[in-house]
Structure 1
């Protein structure tokens, strides 16, 4: 186990272009499971490879347990890597793949056998130890790759999208197994994924990257409820948050709806941080359906026309288009608004739902910087 620190760490592939990883400052506690998440090209895999010694650090430094490893070779850092592609030797059995690194270290045969057996028992690989990768499923191969890392007793465990090649059902099962295993071993772990569901369910903390720049590092639930900016708000959560642009601020209140009568409950003091407009984020579960008919609605609601109902069994979502008045200053960034339903039977394409955000549920952002007003 080890404490890891990125200190203004950058990776520059082309001096004429922005850095792939741009001055990242990040502390990872001893035994912590940190998830690096972001869209393709955000620099998350590059940052992890810099930690493992597979990419150079062009500016800044990386420390493991207080020791500067920036110029240290990968083999000397005591960092184990689990790759997306498994990277198993096809001509070796599972037992031989797991033992390979230990044999290179010239450990006694008895110790190697014990470590391999312990890892196999932990990962439920005992029946597969004498099989070659070609005879295994994707999930089994990934567990062998994990076993190869476990037996090394590394200071830091790096995983680069290890579940991306698995089918949906196996991803869920293996996700739970990795999280449980990490907690059992207590190894400091950096896990890279583009899947925000993996990030939310696995990590002690989540670090969001965009274009090589660290956007926010926080516990998953707190990040979901208090995103640092609109990018984090839109990236974390599925279906995505709705961003309302051009919401009027008047007399310290953020107002929406016909005649701007719907008060969105902006906290006191936020009005001093903006002028006459504010961005407002509303999660799908925070829309309250007031009426499904024009007769029962009131003027503090917004009409939404249902285009699609997504039935997921345990829950359902309606994807809608807002029916704004011609003189409205408000626009919807994502064009469609997702609203969580109590049941898939509650709406059908073509229906009109009269909705309003639940009191105090909105997230308010500066219209210029798009930073959450909580942090300004």
Structure 2
């Protein structure tokens, strides 16, 4: 087991363009499962490959157990990689694939056999040990790829989107298996994904990247409840948080939309001094309530919306809405769309209905209008 530390680490492919990874400083505790998440091109895979020794470090450094490994060869870092593409040898059985790295280390045959059997038992691979990859399903191949890394007993696991080639059901079961396995082994793990569900359910902490810059690192629940800025707020969570721009602060310390129309949203006292006279309001999809249904059923403290689509998911629904044309409050809705997650009151809703909504009391997040940083962090 080991600690991992990035110290102002950068990867620069083209000096005339912004770095792919830009001065990341991040510490991964001994035995921690850290997930790097972000959109395509955010630098998450590059950051992990810098740790594994597959990408050079152009500025700063990377340390494993307080040892600077920035100039160390990949083979000498004691880091095991699990790739998206499995990368198994097609002419070898599962047993041979898992034993290959240990054979290169000239370990005794009895020790190699014991390590392979141990990993196979953990991953429920015993019936597959004498099969080749072509005889296995995608999930089975991925487990063999994981077993190949486990037998090495490395200091650090690096996993680069290992579930992206699996179907949805298998992805869920394998996700749980990886989490249980990591806790059992206690090996420090850096896991890369673009899937926020994986990030939120698997990681002890989640690090969000955008354009090579680290945006926020925190425990999943805290990241969801207290996003550092509007990017994190809208990236983490599905459906995404709705942002309402241009909310003015009135004399009572309430955020009011569109020249005083719509709901009055009380701003916590400790945040009022940080807000100046305007804020961006964030509302999670589960924090909307429907006050009335019908063209003329609303009141001055609600936002009128027209239903575009109702996604019925059994016990809940995602209701996609757009602001009504000509309503000044609609101009505040960034992206022109509000998505609500409802567990009651959705069965009667249909497309083209008009609903009048407001955020539930005390549920809003407030951001600075210029920096778009959460006022809690200013």
Give me the TM-score of the superposition, normalised by structure 1: 0.97
Which has the larger displacement, 273-282 or 210-219?
A: 273-282
Q: Distance in 1 between matches of 2:361 and 2:324?
A: 21
Q: Distance in 2 between matches of 1:254 and 1:21?
A: 37
Q: Distance in 2 between matches of 1:11 and 1:326?
A: 47
| Residues 262, 303 of structure 2: 8 Å contact kept | no
SS in 1 for 2:266: coil
Match of 2:81 in 1: 81
Mark the CA change 1:222 to 1:17 in structure 2 (over 3 Å): closer, same or farther: same
Which has the larger displacement, 266-275 or 67-76?
A: 266-275
Offset at 1:330? 4.3
Mark the CA change 1:290 to 1:59 in structure 2 (over 3 Å): closer, same or farther: same
Q: How is 1:182-261 mapped onto 2 (pairs within 5 angstroms)? A: 182-251=182-251, 252-256=253-257, 259-260=260-261
Match of 1:351 in 2: 353
| 2:67 equivalent to 1:92 | no
Match of 2:55 in 1: 55
Q: Distance in 2 between matches of 1:329 and 1:139?
A: 46
Q: How is 1:1-376 mapped onto 2 (pairs within 5 angstroms)? A: 1-251=1-251, 252-256=253-257, 259-260=260-261, 262-294=263-295, 296-323=297-324, 326-328=327-329, 330-343=331-344, 344-376=346-378
| Residues 215, 232 of structure 1: 8 Å contact kept | yes
SS in 1 for 2:347: helix
Q: Distance in 2 between matches of 1:324 and 1:268?
A: 35
Q: Distance in 2 between matches of 1:163 and 1:13?
A: 28
Offset at 1:323? 2.5
Q: Distance in 2 between matches of 1:314 and 1:330?
A: 32
Mark the CA change 1:33 to 1:50 in structure 2 (over 3 Å): closer, same or farther: same
SS in 2 for 1:346: coil
CA-based RMSD of the aligned residues comes to 1.5
SS in 1 for 2:49: helix
Question: Runs of 5+ in structure 1 lacking a partner?
Answer: none
| Residues 279, 366 of structure 1: 8 Å contact kept | yes
| Residues 324, 330 of structure 2: 8 Å contact kept | no
Give me the TM-score of the superposition, normalised by structure 2: 0.96
Question: Runs of 5+ in structure 2 lacking a partner?
Answer: none
Give aligned pairs, total: 376
| Residues 257, 302 of structure 1: 8 Å contact kept | no
| Residues 262, 329 of structure 2: 8 Å contact kept | no
| Residues 290, 358 of structure 2: 8 Å contact kept | yes
